[in-house]
Amino acid sequence: MPISFPSTGELLDHLRREKKKGERFATRFILIQGCDTWDDLIVKLNYEVEKTVCLSHYCSGADVFPDNERLKAHLESSAGGFNNVLLTPLAEHIRIDPEAAELIGWLAQYPSDKINRIYVPLLEVEGLFWSAISRICRYHEGLLPDIWSLQGAGRCEIVVAPFQIKTKGINIVQGLQEYFARWSSQSIRKAWLVSQMAPWLSVPLGSQNYHIRTYASCFDYVRQTMRGVQLCKEWGSPKEWEWLARQVDQDIDLDSLAARLLKVVEYDSNRLFYMWKGVGPKERWLIWLWSKVSSEPGTYLHHIMQSHSNRAHFHEHATTGIFDYTMPPPVAICRERKQLLLYSDIKFMPQRFWHSYKSLKEPLHRLSVLTDISQQQRLEAIACVGELIKKDIDPNQWWEYLECAFPALAWYLQPIATGDEFADRYFQAYTRCRIKDTADTQLSDLINQWAKKQLLWNYPSRSELVSRLREEGAKVIWVDGMGIEWMGLLRQYFFANNEADCDITITRSNLPTTTEANKEWHSREMIERGLDDAAHHYDYSFPQSFLTCMEVVKKVATKALSLLAQHSCVVITADHGLSRFAVKGATRTEVPNSIEAEAAGRFASIENDSYHIGSHCPLIMDRGHVIWMTHEGFKSAGSCRGEVHGGATPEECLVPVIVLRPRSKQLAQTLKYDLLTPVVKLSMAHVGLLRIRIDKSVDTKIELRAAGRQLVSQPDGEQILTYRFQGWSPGRYTGRLFYHGRLMGEIEFEIVRGILEQDLGL
């Protein structure tokens, strides 16, 4: 058993008496507990010896262990040069490198005829010391000097790692040599020892007053520091783990660390990936890592995070993970995926995506995995929707997927609901035919009705309306070739801005619908010619040219909104529209000798009204011109690959007059509503009514949009609005109500055939 001393003073008194005695062995081991005791004793021991031997002197480099053989040789060669020696800090040496404990056996049997006394204080290493000393036979025989011990207090915490962090209140020690040198003079209460030897150290457990932790790598440090989360080394590169390890301060879990570094309150995938484009590579990796462990099960993000272990593969899995779902995936998953791709700044799909895409046979399945983030995907989306329309698939099955994949195309396919039954039906049919690039029987029937009843005269003149608005001070923009077909898309751009009120009037342009006959713009008024240029381009190709036109319409909206910031009223109108089906699939008629065909056969010039039009002929005579009201035309020398104008079809001669004004603050009021007829019964004529009640009277009609169609309300008593459904298929629908272009809310309703079982008494 060691001799225990109650105080440093009593131990030193004993030391002074004892060193005068003649003894066989020179070394006196002093087992110390507590850093306070160490600091007190080390200072005083220096006055009791002729020489202090510090282990740091035997380190051949800044970060290598002491050379024990050099130490032994030095002690051997110094024999007789001095009587008493202090050797320190051996405890730190054997604590970090337990193999160095062999020095205890060598020192314990060092003869006193060479050096009288070698004092070796050992702080908090009782276990290692007794393990080493017990292997010496002379110890068991009682031939070795007594072991001294000194009790005390004072904790220390040491971290050994191959990297450095910035933490307040912790001494950073660079390398083993500096570490041993500091301990030779005093204790280090809190230290971070930076040593590249850390991965190979096998440090035993500490004691009550001495706590030491060793981290082989930055990853080990992060993994052991972050509570409640399982991290894997392959989730980051050594540099990424080092960066994260250096950021750890008082954080005890990944949530608090990541929230502090990313400057957020808590994990929110939408918020984090919204930040993605604006942060650096390290922060992006941290967002990825945090999502790896914190994304919500059942989400698309969680699904793809479980399928890869390296951020380098994140983009590929974000694009292709959708194919892991049963087709078509839930719409919510498609929406989440698209948002993730947009936030992550993914602009192109990898080859693996297109390989999987080509294996999908159904157009709905293909549409469900597409987005509008690249030109190629937009082209594919148009092809898919065209195929769905050709197959007459109920839009209720695919409309939400289209709104997710390519919202601008959905806006195009949802022309404005004006309350004009013919115009609404015609342009609903026309836009669908445009997407499949083929006229169908519904469009033919409607245009024949148009020609037979000469409905064009039901619409006001554009010239008169624009002149009046111009006189009132409106800023006018002319868009060459913009017909009513583009109103759904253009209006949605205005409403998305949420700063403009938009009123649209369908008007009639001058016949024939040439630019020359409709050149009514003033010298300082803006003219956008992109639509007309695309229509007449020699290299017109569908759907590429159609996408070009969509971009032109977006450009028009942007320009108009910028002007609205400078003017109280902006008017957008067109000289004429354009017709695709007067080119594609149109029947051509021989031109009589008395007339001359113009504008690729859309009209002909005559003299003295000499041309006779039969009662059933779809032609109209106006101011010396014979003009086609349908898609037919005269044979002519001119040709066109894309779209034409000059005729009197609805898409050629009906043009919008759009009045934009700053949004009225009065429209900020919120309307409350109740659905009165959640089940709409269709009559034998396939007509049904849906009714809602609103809490206040309104100054305009409220629009209902569902499955790619739109209806406008009709008053049906005080604060009761009615919507008339005709030709809708039975099924469940989700509709959205819009008031002045603002979304009021959603309703869910079901359309059923009129005769129900309960009606029959069954």
Query: What confidence tens digit (pLDDT) does each residue in 166-210 have?
Result: 777 788 999 999 999 999 999 999 999 999 998 888 777 667 888
Where does the chain hold its CATH 2.60.40.10 domain(s)? 666-760
* Mean pLDDT of the 248-273 span: 91
Q: Is the pLDDT of residue 372 over 90?
A: yes
Query: Rounded to 5 degrees, what angle do the CA atoms 410, 414, 415 make?
Result: 135
Highest mean pLDDT among 136-140, 483-487, 744-748: 483-487
Contact 417, 710 (CB under 8 A): yes
When mean pLDDT is compared across 87-91, 423-427, 726-730, the lowest value belongs to 726-730
For residue range 521-557, list pLDDT tens digits in order. Answer: 999 999 999 999 999 999 999 999 999 999 999 999 9
Q: Which of 576, 571, 553, 558 is nearest to 657 (CA)?
A: 571
Q: Is the pLDDT of residue 593 over 80?
A: no
* Mean pLDDT of the 404-427 span: 92
For residue range 279-303, list pLDDT tens digits in order. Answer: 999 999 999 999 999 999 999 999 9
Highest mean pLDDT among 153-162, 697-706, 710-719: 153-162
Contact 173, 69 (CB under 8 A): no
So what's the pLDDT on residue 83? 85
When mean pLDDT is compared across 80-94, 179-193, 311-325, 553-567, the lowest value belongs to 80-94
When mean pLDDT is compared across 298-312, 542-556, 630-644, 661-675, the lowest value belongs to 661-675
Where does the chain hold its CATH 3.40.720.10 domain(s)? 457-662
* Mean pLDDT of the 266-270 span: 95
So what's the pLDDT on residue 616? 61
Express as a percent the part of the chain with pLDDT over 70. 95
- Name, in order, each residue with C-beta under 8 angstroms of 444's C-beta and a sequence gap of 6 or more: none
Residue 247 CB burial class (10 angstroms; 0-12, 13-18, ≥19): middle
Report residue 247's pLDDT band, with 50, 70 and 90 as the boundaries: confident
Q: Which of 75, 72, 69 is nearest to 114 (CA)?
A: 75
Return the bridge partners of 193, or none.
160, 173
DSSP 483-516: -GGGHHHHHHHHHHHTSEEEEEEEEEPPSS--TG
Q: Which of 249, 202, 209, 207 is nearest to 225 (CA)?
A: 249
SS3 248: coil
So what's the pLDDT on residue 762? 41
Long-range CB pairs of 297-306, under 8 A, 24+ apart, other chains included: 299/269, 299/333, 299/336, 300/333, 300/336, 300/337, 300/340, 301/269, 301/336, 301/340
Radius of gyration of the chain (CA): 44
* Mean pLDDT of the 674-678 span: 91
Q: Which fold has domain 666-760?
A: Immunoglobulin-like (2.60.40)
* Mean pLDDT of the 358-382 span: 97
* Mean pLDDT of the 415-424 span: 86
Packed helices 375-390 and 421-436: angle between N→C axes, nearest 10 degrees: 120
Report residue 41's pLDDT band, with 50, 70 and 90 as the boundaries: very high
Q: Report the residue count for the chain.
A: 762
Cis peptide before 512 (omega within 30 of 0): yes
Question: Position of tokens 């409106």?
Answer: 474
- Which of the two residues, 313 and 589, has the higher pLDDT score? 313
- Name, in order, each residue with C-beta under 8 angstroms of 337's C-beta and a sequence gap of 6 or more: 300, 318, 321, 322, 371
Buried/exposed code over 31-53 (b: 16+ C-beta within 10 A; e: otherwise)? bbbbbbbbbbbbeebeeebeebb
Contact 648, 511 (CB under 8 A): yes
Where does the chain hold its CATH 3.40.50 domain(s)? 3-150
Q: Is the pLDDT of residue 356 over 70?
A: yes
Q: Which of 248, 202, 242, 233 is nearest to 99 (CA)?
A: 202
DSSP-derived letter for residue 201 is -
Q: Dihedral (C-alpha) 159, 160, 161, 162: value to the nearest 10 degrees? A: 140
So what's the pLDDT on residue 418? 83
Cα first-last separation, the chain = 101
Host H or E run for residue 211: strand 210-214
State pTM to two decimals. Answer: 0.81
Q: Which fold has domain 3-150?
A: Rossmann fold (3.40.50)
Report residue 712's pLDDT band, with 50, 70 and 90 as the boundaries: confident
* Mean pLDDT of the 231-259 span: 90
So what's the pLDDT on residue 615? 58
What does pLDDT average to over the chain? 90
Compute the distance between CA of residue 619 and CA of residue 626 in angstroms, rounded to an integer. Answer: 6
Compute the distance between CA of residue 15 and CA of residue 36 in angstroms, rounded to an integer. Answer: 20
* Mean pLDDT of the 627-653 span: 90
Contact 95, 204 (CB under 8 A): yes
Architecture of domain 457-662: 3-Layer(aba) Sandwich (3.40)
Report residue 761's pLDDT band, with 50, 70 and 90 as the boundaries: very low
